[in-house]
Every structure is written in C-alpha cells, then in structure tokens.
Amino acid sequence: MKNIRKLVTVVLTLSLTLSLAACGSENSSNGSVTADREKNQNVVYRTLDEIKESGTINIGVFSDKNPFGYVDENGEYQGYDVYFANRIGEDLGVKINYISTEAANRIEYLQTGKADIILANFTVTPQRAEEVDFALPYMNVALGVVSPDSRVIESLDSWNAEDQIIVISGTTAETYLIENYPDIPLQKYDSYATAKNALENGNGVAWVNDNTEVIAFALQNDGYTVGIPSLGSQDSIAPAVSKGNNTLLDWLNEEIISLGEEQFFHAAYKATLADTYGLDYEDSLVVEGGRKNK
C-alpha cells in the first residue's frame, strides 16, 4: 500500500512539474508573440510588396492648388504632381487612391499610414527629413511674395507692425518668416483656398508661399503682382514616404532616375504647367532624373 501511495505521489509530482513547465513555455511563447505584435503595430507603412499585393497605392496630393494638384470640373485629379503620380501607378501596375491633403497634415498622413507617398509640393528641409524619408527631387522651388497691385510688396524690411502677412500652416513660408522676420504678424490658414480667399478679401497685405504657387496665382488673377519672386534659399520638391520605408523609397529613386532618361518631367511641365508659366520657367523649375540643374 505504501508503495502504491509513493508511486501515485511521484506521478502527481511529475505531472505537476510537466504542467508548470508547459505553462511557462506557453507564457514565454505568448509573450514573444505579443511583443512582436506590439512592435509591428508601430510599423504603419506598407512595403513595396504589400502595395503591389493590394493592387492599390495611396498617394497624397493637393486638391486645390492648380496647376500642381487640383480637382477639375469632372471631379478628376489633375496637375503636375498628379501627372507624376499617374505614372507611378502605371509603372507599379496598381490603381491609385488619391488622398486630398493640406500642407499641415502631409507628415501626419505618412506617419499614420493614411498615405503611402506624398506628392504635394513637399519642400525638402532638414527638419522634415527627421520625420519622413524624401526621395530624389523633381522640382526646384523658393519662396515668393504676392500682393495687390495697389500696394506691391518688394521688401520685408522695415515692416509696419500693423500689417499682416498671410501664410499656410505647416509650410516652409511659415517657418522662414518665424525664423527670419519674427516681428511680422502672420495670418495662418490651413489650405491654399482659404489663404487665397484671405488675400482677395484684403485680410492681409501680402501672401508668402512657394514662388511657383504665388506666380501662378498672379498670372491667373488680375490685380496682383509678385513683388518678391525669390525669397530665402533655393530648395527642392521631392516625394516623401514614411520613415524607414526603404523598399518603397528605393523603388521611387530608381523610378525618378529612369524617368529622367526619357525627359519625363519636362514632358510633365509642358502638359500641366506651360499654360500657366510659359516655357521660360521650364529649365529653372524642372529637375530631371533627380539631378538639379546647374
């Protein structure tokens, strides 16, 4: 009898030991899976293969910045950035889901995975490059200042403290003025359309934005002059992807270089920008194959 009890005790002890060991192993395994899931949850971007597999790419563009990105009377996206985006979709073999974006949410849309690529007159700056990855450039840009013909602004020096300048939040214009002209009061708007309306309604004496955009505005609207066509440094416009999305970034760089061999961006300029700017600006604005013009 004692031997039977002893045997039962040994069996129960062994069973309990094995059960605890299995439990510990299971917890360890679950912990590893949980850690991996948490880690993957922080990766909001889609890789190149995932985009191809889905059959659709999400590209953020402006919807109110003619002639760079806008929606026409038929509800279709048009413009220089859209011309480029259409080619990206064609060469990737996927459909494009256009995401209407404003200047202030371009970085956010990449960081949250709402957009795979941003093509919305995105000026390359060191600060932005800390938060997103820029591909090779496809356009040159500086800042410009447009104002009514009744009071053309040709200098920002000796500014009247009562006068306000219109800017769009999240743009290089806002950053430049804050850093270089901190005493100039700014009127900040979220979109191109609201900034344009503010200038037309006389809510500010001038509007500072990318020179390509203010020049286009003055050419398309009577009664306005670009008194300062180039303000600050000469910068580049480039596509942007989520930080760390190397597969998509590498593909974009190869695409831009390849398109340069066929002079794609000059063709894009002629198709979308020439009616606004004429051909005089073509070589100064277009960056072909990721290489800046000298």
Return the bridge partners of 291, or none: 288
What is the per-residue pLDDT for 284? 87
Mean pLDDT for all residues in the chain: 87
What is the per-residue pLDDT for 69? 96
Reading the block at residue 200, the tokens are: 């037309």
Is there a contact between 99 and 58 (Cβ–Cβ < 8 Å)? Answer: yes
CA distance 173 to 84: 24
46-137+237-280 and 141-232: identical CATH topology:
yes
What is the per-residue pLDDT for 293? 53
Where residue 292 falls among pLDDT bands split at 50, 70, 90?
low
- Burial code (b: 16+ CB inside 10 Å, e: under 16) for 233-242 equals eebbbbbbbb
- 287's CB contacts (< 8 A; 6+ apart) are 137, 138, 139, 140, 236, 237, 265, 293
Question: In the CATH scheme, what is the homologous superfamily, with its name and number, of domain 46-137+237-280?
Answer: Periplasmic binding protein-like II (3.40.190.10)
Reading the block at residue 173, the tokens are: 């214009």
Query: What is the mean predicted confidence (pLDDT) over 267-272?
Result: 98
Residue 232 has pLDDT above 60, yes or no: yes
What is the per-residue pLDDT for 163? 95
Q: What is the CATH number of domain 141-232?
A: 3.40.190.10
**Ranges of each domain in the chain:** 46-137+237-280, 141-232
Is there a contact between 147 and 205 (Cβ–Cβ < 8 Å)? Answer: yes
Q: Which range has the worst mean pLDDT, 125-129, 178-182, 204-208, 281-285?
A: 281-285
CA Rg value for the chain = 27
Where residue 102 falls among pLDDT bands split at 50, 70, 90?
very high
**pLDDT, tens digit, for every residue of 120-169?**
999 999 999 999 999 999 999 999 999 999 999 999 998 998 999 999 99
Query: What is the mean predicted confidence (pLDDT) over 262-269?
Result: 98
192-200 long-range CB contacts below 8 Å, 24 or more apart?
A: 192/62, 192/64, 192/65, 192/168, 193/64, 195/166, 195/167, 195/168, 198/166, 199/146, 199/147, 199/148, 199/166, 199/224
Instruction: Look up residue 240 and give its DSSP letter.
Output: E
Residue 86 has pLDDT above 60, yes or no: yes
Residue 180 has pLDDT above 60, yes or no: yes
Return the bridge partners of 286, or none: 139
CA distance 84 to 264: 9
Where residue 280 falls among pLDDT bands split at 50, 70, 90?
confident
Where residue 98 falls among pLDDT bands split at 50, 70, 90?
very high
Alpha helices in 42-150, H assignment, sequence order: 48-54, 80-92, 106-111, 126-129
Is there a contact between 121 and 211 (Cβ–Cβ < 8 Å)? Answer: no
**pLDDT, tens digit, for every residue of 26-65?**
343 333 333 333 444 565 899 999 999 999 999 999 999 9
What is the per-residue pLDDT for 73? 95
- 89's CB contacts (< 8 A; 6+ apart) are 57, 59, 95, 96
